[in-house]
Structure 1
Amino acid sequence: MTSVKEFRIEEEATATDLGRGSFVFTDDYSVFDWGKMPDQIPQKGASLCAMGAFNFELLESEGVPTHYRGVVENGDVIQLENASHPPSEMAIDLTQVPDLPHEGREYEYDRYHDAAGENYLIPLEIVFRNRVPVGSSLRRRTAPADHGLEFDEWPDEAVDLDDPIVEFSTKYEEGDRYLERDEADAIAGAADIEDLASVAREVNRIVTDQASSAGLVHEDGKIECLYYRGEIRVADVVGTFDENRFSYEGTQLSKEVLRQYHKRTQPEWVQAVEAAKAEAKRADVADWKSLCDVDPEPLADGVLETARDMYCSGANAYTGREIFDAPPLSTAIGAVRRL
């Protein structure tokens, strides 16, 4: 289903009813949309599962509907606090995900919704931003005035936002792109775009407050949602170090660490990926990866260990629970700084 987690179906969703299934989190990782990279990060999957479960339970306690049912242990669906060891499987409700027909980069969303009815995964990612760091794509695509900011141009340092920025991007297109509200509203189908933005802001508030209580800064993130009988429910996984960007004492605590490490140590591969994406866009080809003639190299054992501690120590700190046998977050972050 995805590059870092497997998808199990117990009961198929129908036009009228949700199904049941689960995510099985692996230790694979992906950067720059490459898909499965050539090595694994120990216990990364369990850390994402634990943080995702914690956040879903937090959202449910705050009245935000989700597709979460619990974590799976010995075949039983239980709450995270009752798990005897770090979980790697999450039980979820399933919705319909029709095929999205396309010709090149022309996607036929009307056919997606004709097949979906009123029980479907909304084919959008809803992005929220609390900070605009240097290098953010937002700086290339927009001006500060577009967001009510009192700058003539973007400053050379990160910009913290009083009010989060909410954006929409495509989910199932081979090369995802940010959307104007009118196009996002059309792609959302029966789901109202302002309701989606409202859900995203509430999720952002809850995750930001939890991060702050753990001494973390929540910089940005995204959610995916399903639509069922007129209700929007948060789907996929929420508030992990893969979906969101956090920092601790000024140092990144997220998958961004791996992105930046590859930029520094494997620039030829990163440049080849960017060139392949640009060529695919020019040629109106969906599969950019087939145009890339450089493959990523595996990471050194020490780098994988540092990444493992970042994920596991970060999960412990965020949840306030000793789920993993991992060093204190300050120690893990020190190793990240030395990468």
Structure 2
Amino acid sequence: MDKLKAMHTFVEIARAGSLTGAARRLGSSLPSVVRRLAELEGELGVRLFNRTTRKISLTREGGHYLEHCQAILSSIDEAESSLAAEQATPSGQLRVTAPVLFGQYYVAPAVTGFLQRYDQVRCQLSLNDRNIDLLEDQVDVGVRIGHLPDSTLIAHRVGEVRRVVVAAPAFLEKQGIPSHPRDLLRGNAVHVLSRWTPWTFREGEHVFTVSVTGNFDCNQIAPAIGACLSGLGFGMFLSYQVAHHVREGRLRILLADFEQPPRPVSVVYPHARRLPVRTRLFVDWIREALTSAGLDHRELGRSQAP
């Protein structure tokens, strides 16, 4: 059995969601796909898919094996592509997506630098706070914030961000500094995305919510941060969105001991046997740029005096 070919077949079955779809993607016959899967499961001694007459889905063991197969095949692709990159000048269309504010702060400058370095590449950067389907929308590379659902995307973690409560010093002088999330109920809050959903906190192993209220609700992050800067009320944002305001003393992070666990920041792209040179180079470029940006923010605001 050709183990790499069997692993590639397994990954394509997972991506296509069917044996027939995988055969079509691979340009192979259905019996060949079925045989390779059976040989792989036989050698591993586990069932990789649950199969019925109507659908096919990964088993728990299959999900774990998929992650390893993707990593192995990606490493092979990287080795082959790096050799090709040394012989080729990247060109053509590159499509990239990222969250709006994160894209403005970090991704757009990295894209600009990449295009200055490789001027035969054209880039379409789409900033959207909704996670779009990279395969369906034909996007080459995405930046995601948060834990990723099981998928066939290749993901490289480049940092993490916290969800923090902040307020302006002038507001805290009048309102007082909260010592527990329930104290937020006594003050005005600024909310984002037009839904007054409760704010979530953690105390030890206990996760709980606080139903904050306020007189300003905005569907964009930047104006909501501006309202907090002006002293209108408390706000809850991701740490990268307010980091420079915190460092310069215009906002203070509150209730750090009650924060939820940090959220990962990842560079993601669809699995492919041979990524175009432009995509491979950009993945390396954006990973380096975001890793160098220091996105963990673990100590941000924690040294402030109460």
Normalising TM by the smaller chain, what interval?
A: under 0.3
Q: What is the TM-score when the length of structure 2 is the normalising length? A: 0.20
- Look at both structures and tell me which one has the larger radius of gyration over its CA atoms: 2
Structure with the higher helix share, 1 or 2: 2
Q: What TM-score comes out, normalization by structure 1 length? A: 0.19
